[in-house]
C-alpha cells in the first residue's frame, strides 16, 4: 500500500510556485494577488481562509481578506465582488462558502468575473471544463488529478466510481476522470444517495473517489483488492484519546480499507492540502494571463 501524501505533494507545488513568482517579479512582473471574502465567523471557514492567507505569504503572493458580518446584505456582498472584479491589481477572487441562508450562493458565484474565478465554480469555467477547454479547474478535483499524475497512477481504461454528486467535488470529478486526457480516460460511474446496490458498484472500482461527508462510510467489504482510494471527506468527531478532545475522520474506514488498497489518501494530510495548493496554482495562471 502506497500512501498518497497530499501534504508533501502540496508543499512541493508551493515551492515550485514560489520559484515562478520570484522569476516573475525579477522579470518586471507584479506579484500575484488573491482576494478572499469571508462572511460570518464559521470555525471551519475561518480556519480554511486563514490557511489560504498563510499559503499566499509562503509563495510570495499578495493577499487581501475582506470580512463581513453574518447579517451583511446580498447587495453589499455583490457590490464588494464588483469592486474586486474591477480592481486590476487583484488576479483571483474567492468567496468562502457556505454563505448565510439569506444570500443566494449561485448569484454571488455568477457575479465573479470568470477571469478571476480561481475556485473554478463559475458556470463559464464549469462549461469550459466539460468541453475540455483550458480553464480554472475546481481546486479539490484539480488537486486529486495532480496526486494521480505525480504518483503515476494509471487511469486510462480503468473503472472510476465517484460517491457524491456535489458541484464542488463529485460532479466535476466525474467529468474530469472521463475526459480524453491524462489523468482521465476512465469509465466513470457517479453514485449518490439514490443509488441502489452501491456496494456491488464500488466493489468493481479500480479508482474510488469518495466525497460524501459521512465518517468512515466506506468499509473493507465495499472495495476490491488493489483499489486506489481518494478520500475527500473530513468529519470532526469526539475522541477521548486526543488532547483536543476530537479527531478528524475521512469518508473511508482507513485502517481496514488500506489493507486492500494499492494507493490511498490519508485524512488529514491527503486531499485537503492539495486544494489550497491548486488554488494558488490557478491564481498564478491568472496573474500570468495564460487562459483569457
Catalytically active residues are: 52, 96, 119
CA distances from 288 to 28, 88, 89, 171, 215 (A): 12, 13, 12, 28, 40
Q: By CB neighbour count within 10 A (0-12 exposed, 13-18 middle, 19+ buried), where does 166 fall?
A: middle
Q: At what angle are helices 6-26 and 139-150 packed, to 10 degrees?
A: 100
- Collapsed DSSP state (helix, strand, coil) of residue 218: strand
Give me the count of residues in the chain: 292
Sheet-wide strand order for 62-68 = 62-68, 33-39, 92-95
> Cα angle at 25 between 24 and 29, to 5 degrees?
75
Half-sphere exposure of 252 (CA within 13 A, CB side): 33
- Tell me which residue of 160, 265, 173, 150 sits closest to 204, measured CA to CA: 160
What is the distance between the alpha carbons of residues 160 and 184, in angstroms, rounded to a whole number? 9
What is the distance between the alpha carbons of residues 223 and 243, in angstroms, rounded to a whole number? 33
- Collapsed DSSP state (helix, strand, coil) of residue 125: helix
Cβ proximity of 17 and 281 under 8 Å: yes
Cβ proximity of 290 and 23 under 8 Å: no
Instruction: Read off the DSSP letter of residue 112.
Output: S
Amino acid at each position: 500500500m502506497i500512501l498518497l501524501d497530499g501534504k508533501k505533494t502540496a508543499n512541493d507545488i508551493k515551492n515550485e510556485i514560489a520559484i515562478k513568482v520570484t522569476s516573475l517579479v525579477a522579470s518586471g512582473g507584479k506579484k500575484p494577488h488573491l482576494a478572499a471574502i469571508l462572511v460570518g465567523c464559521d470555525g471551519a471557514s475561518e480556519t480554511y481562509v486563514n490557511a489560504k492567507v498563510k499559503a499566499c505569504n509562503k509563495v510570495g503572493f499578495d493577499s487581501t481578506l475582506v470580512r463581513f458580518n453574518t447579517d451583511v446584505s446580498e447587495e453589499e456582498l455583490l457590490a464588494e465582488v464588483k469592486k474586486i472584479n474591477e480592481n486590476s491589481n487583484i488576479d483571483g477572487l474567492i468567496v468562502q462558502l457556505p454563505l448565510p441562508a439569506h444570500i443566494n450562493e449561485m448569484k454571488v458565484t455568477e457575479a465573479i468575473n470568470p477571469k478571476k474565478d480561481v475556485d473554478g465554480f463559475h458556470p463559464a469555467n464549469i462549461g469550459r471544463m466539460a468541453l475540455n477547454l483550458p480553464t480554472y479547474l475546481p481546486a479539490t478535483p484539480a488537486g486529486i488529478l495532480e496526486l494521480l499524475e505525480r504518483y503515476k497512477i494509471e487511469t486510462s481504461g480503468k473503472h472510476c466510481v465517484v460517491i457524491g454528486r456535489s458541484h464542488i467535488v463529485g460532479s466535476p470529478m466525474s467529468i474530469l476522470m472521463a475526459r480524453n486526457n491524462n489523468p482521465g480516460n476512465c469509465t466513470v460511474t457517479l453514485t449518490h444517495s439514490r443509488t441502489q446496490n452501491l456496494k456491488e458498484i464500488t466493489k468493481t472500482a479500480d479508482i474510488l473517489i469518495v466525497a460524501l461527508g459521512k465518517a468512515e462510510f466506506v468499509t473493507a467489504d465495499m472495495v476490491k483488492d488493489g483499489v486506489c482510494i481518494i478520500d475527500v471527506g473530513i468529519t470532526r468527531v469526539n475522541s477521548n484519546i486526543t488532547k483536543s478532545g476530537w479527531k478528524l475522520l475521512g469518508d473511508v474506514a482507513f485502517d481496514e480499507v488500506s489493507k486492500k488498497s494499492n494507493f490511498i489518501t490519508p485524512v488529514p494530510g491527503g486531499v485537503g492540502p492539495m486544494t489550497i495548493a491548486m488554488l494558488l496554482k490557478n491564481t498564478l495562471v491568472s496573474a500570468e494571463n495564460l487562459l483569457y
